[in-house]
Amino acid sequence: MSNKNTYNNQYMEYLKVQEASTVVSSVLDKGVITATRISRGSPGHGFVDQHATEDAFMLAFQLQDYQGDLWVDGRNVEFPLARKEHFTVYDYNRLWQADMKSAFDCVNFYVPRTAFEGLAEDLGPKTIETLNVLPGLNVEDATVKGIVEALLPAFTTPNYASRLFVDHLGLALSAHLAVTYGEARQSLNASAGLAPWQQNRALAMIDANLDGSLDMSQIATACGLSASYFARSFKHSLGLPPYKWMIKRRVEKAQDLLRRTPLSIAEIATACGFSDQSHLSKVFSQITGTTPSAWRKARIA
């Protein structure tokens, strides 16, 4: 691109990394959180292009130690080492420049400030002006690490990750950042759960979309709730977050087809929203302790 200001922060285009894998979470009514894994196995990547200035943050979580030079608003920042399993926060309202010297492997989250607005029902109306992490500071955070670890398989096998699962992680990350680093206050009021009509509508929508294409905001809107309030209420009513309930229903449908029909396991996998037979076998075994074929034989015998 000829105009440096046209680079898209959401997909980290200004970093000029050719090999990048991206997943998008549209969990919130007003914002989209994007996670991109970027890596380079050799040193000397060099200077990145200038990012666009906007009301958004980048959270860079390192999967290995990384070294480079960093400038913020034209001033050099002490940044001797970005440590493995630590993250750094970049506010896109400020001007950042980097000379990426070493090899690197990281997961970068694009978090627009508007994403926090969708959490108002849970966190109150306080505006998140910034995230209180100094430029170049390495932050060790078990919650962020857990979210990254849960998300990593989605970069290599994206068909295995449903929208509800990715949305769940995006929602968890935004709420954690707002409370821990944005000075929002977590509501102590427990959700009363879903009304019967809301529960019935949510379950019907999940059952009708076991392929995983349905996102959290669609179900929440149909129930007249914000995404964050819906997720909390759903778990209160049913004991599982929406994405785990969907997995449960996929396996239950697979069991029904295994027992009642002569369909092949590959055909059942497709009918139940799994990416392929391998995906069905993996999830089925995790939940039931046996493979689909063994489960079928035990019930037919």
Give the pLDDT score at 126.
Answer: 63
Query: Can you give the CATH number for the domain in which 155 is found?
Result: 2.60.120.10
250-276 residue pLDDT tens:
999 999 999 999 999 999 999 999 989
Tokens read off for 79: 């940044």
Give the pLDDT score at 238.
Answer: 94
Q: Roughly what angle, to the nearest 10 degrees, separates helices 242-260 and 292-300? A: 40
What DSSP designation does 291 have? -
Claim to verify: residue 89 and residue 33 sit in the same structural domain: yes
Q: Any alpha helices (H) in the chain, and if so which ranges? A: 114-117, 120-123, 142-156, 163-180, 196-208, 216-222, 227-238, 242-260, 265-271, 277-288, 292-300
Q: Mean pLDDT, to the nearest integer, of 66-87? A: 93
Most confident of 11-15, 155-159, 191-195, 286-290: 286-290
In a domain, 188, yes or no: no
Q: Which domain holds residue 226?
A: 196-239
Give the pLDDT score at 13.
Answer: 84
Q: What is the pTM of this model?
A: 0.83
Give the pLDDT score at 15.
Answer: 85
What is the distance between the alpha carbons of residues 94 and 116, in angstroms, rounded to a whole number? Answer: 19
Claim to verify: residue 14 and residue 134 sit in the same structural domain: yes
Claim to verify: residue 83 and residue 162 sit in the same structural domain: yes
**Pairing of β 46-47 and β 68-72:** unpaired
- DSSP states along 69-128: EEEETTEEE--S-B-TT-EEEEETTS-EEEEE-S-EEEEEEEEETHHHHTTHHHH-S---
Chain mean pLDDT for the chain: 87
Give the pLDDT score at 123.
Answer: 66
In a domain, 185, yes or no: no
Count how many domains the chain has.
3
Claim to verify: residue 59 and residue 134 sit in the same structural domain: yes
Q: Are 179 and 124 in contact (CB under 8 A)?
A: no
Claim to verify: residue 142 and residue 264 sit in the same structural domain: no
In a domain, 189, yes or no: no
Non-local (6+) Cβ contacts of 62 within 8 A are: 82, 83, 84, 85, 86, 87, 104, 105, 106
Give the pLDDT score at 1.
Answer: 28
Claim to verify: residue 102 and residue 156 sit in the same structural domain: yes
SS3 label, residue 182: coil
37 alpha-carbon distance from chain centroid:
12
User: Pick from 63, 11, 61: which is nearest to 32 by CA?
Assistant: 11
Claim to verify: residue 287 and residue 254 sit in the same structural domain: yes
Give the pLDDT score at 5.
Answer: 46
Instruction: Tell me how far apart the terminal alpha carbons of the chain are, to the nearest angstrom.
Output: 64
For residue 168, pLDDT beyond 50: yes
In a domain, 186, yes or no: no
Q: Mean pLDDT, to the nearest integer, of 221-231? A: 87
Claim to verify: residue 16 and residue 70 sit in the same structural domain: yes
